[in-house]
Structure 1
Amino acid sequence: MSAHPRPSRRRVLGALALGAAALAGETVVGPRPAHAAEQVRDGAYVPALVVGTGYGAAVTALRLAEAGVRTLMLEMGQLWTRPGPDGKVFCGMLAPDRRSTWFRRRTAAPMASFLWLDVVDRPVEPYAGVLDRVDFGAMSVYAGRGVGGGSLVNGGMAVVPRRSYLREVLPRVDVREMYGRYFPRARAGLRVNGVDRAWFEGTEWYRYSRVAREQAGRAGHGTVFLDNVYDFGHMRREAAGKAPKSALATELIYGNNHGRMSLDKTYLAAALGTGRVTVAALHRAVAIRPHADGYVVTVERSDASGRRLGTREIACRHLFLGGGSLGTTELLLRARETGTLPRLGREIGEGWGPNGNVMTARANLPLHPTGCHQSTVPVLGIDAWDDPRHPVFAEITPVPAGIETWISLYLAITRNPERGTFTYDRRTGRMGLRWEHGQSKPAVRSARAFFDRMNRANGTDYRYDLFGPRPRAFADDFTYHPLGGCVLGRATDDYGRVKGYRHLYVTDGALIPGSLGVNPFVTITALAERNVERVLRQDVLPAARRDRSHA
């Protein structure tokens, strides 16, 4: 367990810049307003352009800037630092409004019903909200929208995969180097910390976790504490009434107003604090074409209501794609299929998977209440990954309804070998996903075997009423952990360089082939640290030196 270190001066300066820009109604944040605007004008040139502001993108921008490279970041979502009419930046889960959802008329929460009643999702005004769900038929993908990407909306569980499984998933990556150098660097940059064990054992806010732990023990399973990027010191002050509530006020999947150490408070803030990074929100990269010794990116601008404000073209020498498994893959697929980057290989779009995600819930007996008050930040997982037939890592997640529900809810991560493939429709200009319902069956089989044992040991049964109008115990048709599409060592070289083109890189979860066994964001961060270190040394800095020698 570790405490958060004192914020660096660079992070403080960057966070202040983000807040000031949002309060002023600006969408472009940089070292100086006039200079920032110049970075995103039509026909502008920057040495390095980073698409996205999620984990891999944020790492890349910071390390480029620290090396002296002027960098522009493009983000399709908005800045989330300006309070709404209620004085809060984000809304809670029990009363969602337009801030919750990316351009839908109704929220789309993963737990969609209660007693089969449609009481969870609410009508909302279409808006550039913080959480998106992209539907592909048999599979839907949740994604964060805003400066900070998925760090704004995920559960923050900072888990590192088993060494043996990481070696299997990424055989061309030096595992000793990852655990000895890059995972520690990522944890420090993300400001990972752990819950105080004594406080956990006594607080009402984690009764639901303790109940699930006891029941796992009866089935012969052990639990592990999960570190997080939520500030547990702040949470304890919340519980004591000494700080405004956030995790203890049903805030999580639509953002946290306090306590969450999202990227806009860590890597992105530090990057902006260098004075060499500009962030352009509500700027969506839609196309790539080669130009001179680099690339031109076509960018669509909009406002938070969805009104189009125009299109610009921005040139760069080095282009880093960090738009996530979906965003990065779509850009490259479009470039290949429309002929702007015709040398891209057939491996683009392949190797996708939902990290074996399955959600399920158990109905506890009346003698085992889970509590009216539940922290939204998970801190325990049931680790059965060593099961030779049905490996499962099950995170104990909250049901913060404000009433007693006797529900134990889990996000199970399983080892599903099935993979999907992204496609591109030239007629509609949209990406699709080849993923059939049957491809989720291995994940469900593992989850069922695991939770059947839990139910037998505790005399309990599943809840069948939580995942929509038809009775079902397992929700296997959505994922919070999309992985793959531009797999490391296949679509790219061993450091994320896209095959067939110079100065074009992938730096996000698209590099990981479909499965990791745990929440992926720490691994994505560490892999980005590894890759950008090599790319800076071999590609970016030598190119900058050549430019200076020719000047």
Structure 2
Amino acid sequence: MSRNVDFNRRRFLGMAALGAAAAAGATTVSLAPSAGAQPRGSRSFVPAVVIGTGYGAAVSALRLGEAGVTTVMLEMGRLWDKPGPDGKVFCKVTNPDSRSTWFKKRTEAPLGSFLWLDVVNKDVEPNAGVLDKVNLGDMSVYVGRGVGGGSLVNGGMAVTPRRDFLQEALPQVDMNEMYDRYFPRANAGLGVSTIPSDFFESTEWYQYSRVSRAAAEKAGLGTVFIPNVYDFAHMRKEAEGTAPKSALDGEVMYGNNHGKRSLDRSYLAAALGTGKVTIESLHHVKALRQESDGTYVLTVHQTDGLGNVLARKEIACKHLFLGAGSLGTTEILLRARETGALPALSADVGGGWGPNGNVMTARANHLWNATGAKQSTIPVMAIDDRNNPVHPVLAEIAPMPAGIETWVSLYLALAKTPERGTFTFDRVTDKLGLTWTKAHSEPAVAAVRSLFDRINKANFTDYRYDLFGSGLNNFAANFCYHPLGGCVLGKATDLYGRVKGYQNLYVTDGSLIPGALGANPFVTITALAERNVERVIAQDIRA
């Protein structure tokens, strides 16, 4: 049986298990009831635990399950597969409710205002919502909460980075293997495709992208189509009115009800389909230690959707895979190091962090260049200035699905910058910190400014200054969507994600990648996890 056929068969079985769990209101998802952790004394034991359900975690769980290894995944967010009172699982960007935000009383959208009016964010009931904004001083980080991690809340932009950029970031990794073997495998597993050109050129839903393309061309700049995990056949039906709308109904930042191949519809479903993987949602890992026999023991709090602790558990395992993301994985390891639970952890844990050069900006178009009241929420095109020898930038043309004409062109720009921060952990407050200041972001802002100054000059346009809170702010670099680093490959770990100082302890997420890629990182995280777990299973588990 071919790899793709086997993957699709398992995915079908796994999606059935997810649906059954949602229908029953369960927090545990498994194809086989016996696949979870088994009692052993005062705690349960399982051969392998994967913390998190994001990209690297999902890859690791699938390949472990295929290898016959009983595996439990621990996810602090909820299983998003049960409709709310309106009959939908997720809420719209323009009408957020308690499903939108992780335990906050008010939403925290990237656009803080419109015409300087506080009309974007809304008061909500605190709940285990799907999107969290973690504030770390001069930098805030958006992260997804739920089974599927960031795949639930991102725009699905599936960018394979330029080979020279990735080689610079990970110089000890074989680029031939990555581009010939692991990137194709990742793209197939994620379900990546590119929007059909005929649909893009004709549909009213991408007028905003075509307006930005024309503005870039006037400045002598080219554009590229950005692959995505959204099902464009479904989107075409949305436009025709023959399928339920999602991307064409203002859904993305707080989840997509239809069309997007998030991880719960791809890798995670296939992992469940092996019959060897169990997902425990609303399970928050609070501490990690190692016993004298090498067993890892996790202290876990099981919670409800209101944040109440329902149970305190200890789960032990032989092989532990950390896939909780740049922030979560680094925090777990730093807490273990600083409290003495894992004292042999490298001093490099916490280093090499960066926001992937994320900068958001917007331009004001002329009245005759309307961007459209109808805008698809799924970005599919970017202005490509990555060949710039001084300021290489990939500027993705972002939607602003306000439901009215705004004449605004919005962009998420990714600048290739060398600035790096360091995570810290305060034992007294039990909190993660980050050494990152506004000055760290200034080189990325300068790079993005150089690009859009040229575009504005060529089009006789100007920036919008009213979208990023009070004052005259035309660039937003104090938040990011793409946190990278904290446990850098080849420094805090070996070249396959094995944590230095400990056996059978692995990192499998974006914390392995130092700081910036010049591209949305999830395809790289997926491909790198495919590479690493293949080696780990062959040498550490099957050997």
Provide structure 2 residue ranges, at least 5 long, that are not aligned to the other structure: none
The aligned residue for residue 43 of structure 2 is 43
The aligned residue for residue 404 of structure 1 is 405
SS in 2 for 1:334: helix
| Aligned counterparts, 1:291-370, within 5 A | 291=291, 292-370=293-371
The aligned residue for residue 488 of structure 1 is 489
- Give the letter for the 1:524 counterpart: I
TM superposition shift of 1:10: 1.3
The change in CA–CA distance for 1:351 and 1:16 in structure 2 (over 3 A counts) is same
1:71 has 2:71 as partner: yes
Decide whether the 8 Å contact of 2:37 with 2:45 is kept in 1: no
The aligned residue for residue 83 of structure 1 is 83
The aligned residue for residue 420 of structure 2 is 419
- Deviation sequence 1:302-346 (CA, Å, 0-9, x none): 001111112111110000000000000000000000000000011
Q: Greater CA deviation, 425-434 or 23-32? A: 23-32
TM normalised by structure 1 equals 0.96
The aligned residue for residue 148 of structure 1 is 148
- Give the letter for the 1:384 counterpart: D
| Aligned counterparts, 1:31-430, within 5 A | 31-33=31-33, 36=36, 38=38, 43-291=43-291, 292-430=293-431
TM superposition shift of 1:434: 0.7
TM superposition shift of 1:294: 2.4
The change in CA–CA distance for 1:388 and 1:41 in structure 2 (over 3 A counts) is farther
TM superposition shift of 1:286: 1.4
Partner Cα distance (1:42, 1:226) in 2: 51
Decide whether the 8 Å contact of 2:35 with 2:275 is kept in 1: no
- Deviation sequence 1:19-60 (CA, Å, 0-9, x none): 211221110111234654757996111111000000000000
SS in 2 for 1:519: coil
The aligned residue for residue 527 of structure 2 is 526
The change in CA–CA distance for 1:160 and 1:430 in structure 2 (over 3 A counts) is same
| Aligned counterparts, 1:491-506, within 5 A | 491-506=492-507
Partner Cα distance (2:420, 2:194) in 1: 34
Partner Cα distance (2:86, 2:36) in 1: 30
Decide whether the 8 Å contact of 1:28 with 1:37 is kept in 2: no
SS in 2 for 1:45: strand
The change in CA–CA distance for 1:436 and 1:63 in structure 2 (over 3 A counts) is same
Decide whether the 8 Å contact of 1:39 with 1:278 is kept in 2: no
TM superposition shift of 1:185: 0.1
Decide whether the 8 Å contact of 1:115 with 1:465 is kept in 2: yes
Decide whether the 8 Å contact of 2:38 with 2:45 is kept in 1: no
- Give the letter for the 1:421 counterpart: T
The change in CA–CA distance for 1:41 and 1:365 in structure 2 (over 3 A counts) is farther
| Aligned counterparts, 1:447-486, within 5 A | 447-486=448-487
- Deviation sequence 1:111-152 (CA, Å, 0-9, x none): 110000000000000000000000011000000000000000
- Deviation sequence 1:261-313 (CA, Å, 0-9, x none): 00000000000011000000000111111122320111111001111112111
Aligned length: 539
SS in 1 for 2:485: strand
The aligned residue for residue 548 of structure 1 is none
- Give the letter for the 1:200 counterpart: F
The aligned residue for residue 512 of structure 1 is 513
TM superposition shift of 1:347: 0.3
Partner Cα distance (1:32, 1:319) in 2: 21
- Give the letter for the 1:454 counterpart: I
- Give the letter for the 2:346 counterpart: G
Partner Cα distance (1:288, 1:250) in 2: 40
Q: Greater CA deviation, 288-297 or 350-359? A: 288-297
Partner Cα distance (2:349, 2:30) in 1: 33
- Give the letter for the 1:114 counterpart: F
The change in CA–CA distance for 1:40 and 1:9 in structure 2 (over 3 A counts) is farther
TM superposition shift of 1:9: 2.3
Decide whether the 8 Å contact of 1:17 with 1:29 is kept in 2: yes
TM normalised by structure 2 equals 0.98
- Deviation sequence 1:386-444 (CA, Å, 0-9, x none): 11111110000000111000000000000121111000000011111110111100001
TM superposition shift of 1:174: 0.4
Partner Cα distance (2:286, 2:58) in 1: 20
Q: Greater CA deviation, 332-341 or 382-391? A: 382-391
- Give the letter for the 2:141 counterpart: V
Query: In percent, how many aligned pairs have the same letter?
Result: 65
Decide whether the 8 Å contact of 1:50 with 1:72 is kept in 2: yes
Partner Cα distance (2:224, 2:147) in 1: 31
- Deviation sequence 1:429-481 (CA, Å, 0-9, x none): 11111101111000010011110000000000000000001221000100000
The change in CA–CA distance for 1:178 and 1:7 in structure 2 (over 3 A counts) is closer
The change in CA–CA distance for 1:41 and 1:416 in structure 2 (over 3 A counts) is farther
SS in 2 for 1:352: coil
The aligned residue for residue 549 of structure 1 is none
Decide whether the 8 Å contact of 2:7 with 2:270 is kept in 1: no
Provide structure 1 residue ranges, at least 5 long, that are not aligned to the other structure: 543-551
Partner Cα distance (1:226, 1:527) in 2: 20
Partner Cα distance (1:298, 1:172) in 2: 35
Partner Cα distance (1:535, 1:36) in 2: 22
Decide whether the 8 Å contact of 1:487 with 1:512 is kept in 2: yes
TM superposition shift of 1:8: 1.9
- Deviation sequence 1:51-100 (CA, Å, 0-9, x none): 00000000000000101111000000000000000000000000000000
SS in 2 for 1:49: strand
SS in 2 for 1:353: coil
Partner Cα distance (1:479, 1:73) in 2: 26
Partner Cα distance (2:6, 2:375) in 1: 28
The change in CA–CA distance for 1:62 and 1:7 in structure 2 (over 3 A counts) is closer
SS in 1 for 2:247: coil
